[in-house]
Structure 1
Amino acid sequence: VGHRFAGCHVDLPASFIIHLPEPINRHVTVKGRIKHVLGDSFGLQFAGLTAASRTLIRRYVELRVGRQSAFGHMQNYLRNLFGARRVNG
């Protein structure tokens, strides 16, 4: 896999400090692994996340992207793009 983490041990357990900016404005210490997703994309796989950390992270994500699903976001995007209106029935 060609990526900027070449030669790094990305699938090993590690601790991370994540800063959740405003409006949460908190630091969360978590354990997990850096995982290869696709191409040069990587993500963090959490391990043993506490309920408090999970709540803070979930709240931050909800505030950033809303509670709507990815499918719902795509529907709204297409509606806005093509000027379509929701049809009931």
Structure 2
Amino acid sequence: EAYTTLPFFYSDLFDLGYEAVGLLDTRLQVIEDWREPNREGVVYYLDGGRVRGVLLWNVWDQVDAARELIAESGPFDAASLRGRLSRKA
């Protein structure tokens, strides 16, 4: 049976918080999609055009959508990922 569980972690930092799923590694291609720079946005980690990890910075209730995105084969680039995961209302 295939092992399909993805790593997941989260933290709250005063009025900021994040949820992360998959592989977050700065050796991968990093694509940032900020609604408010360094305050609210999504950071994607890609390898060969495929999303391997997602960091949701002050963006909530999107972990399942991030897992689904990681399961897709792509290919993805900055243009196709911009706005892909909903941001908080």
TM-score of the two chains, using structure 1 as the length reference: 0.22
Larger helix share, 1 or 2: 1
Larger radius of gyration: 1
TM-score of the two chains, using structure 2 as the length reference: 0.22
The higher-RCO structure (CA 8 Å, 6+ apart) is: 2
Larger strand share, 1 or 2: 2
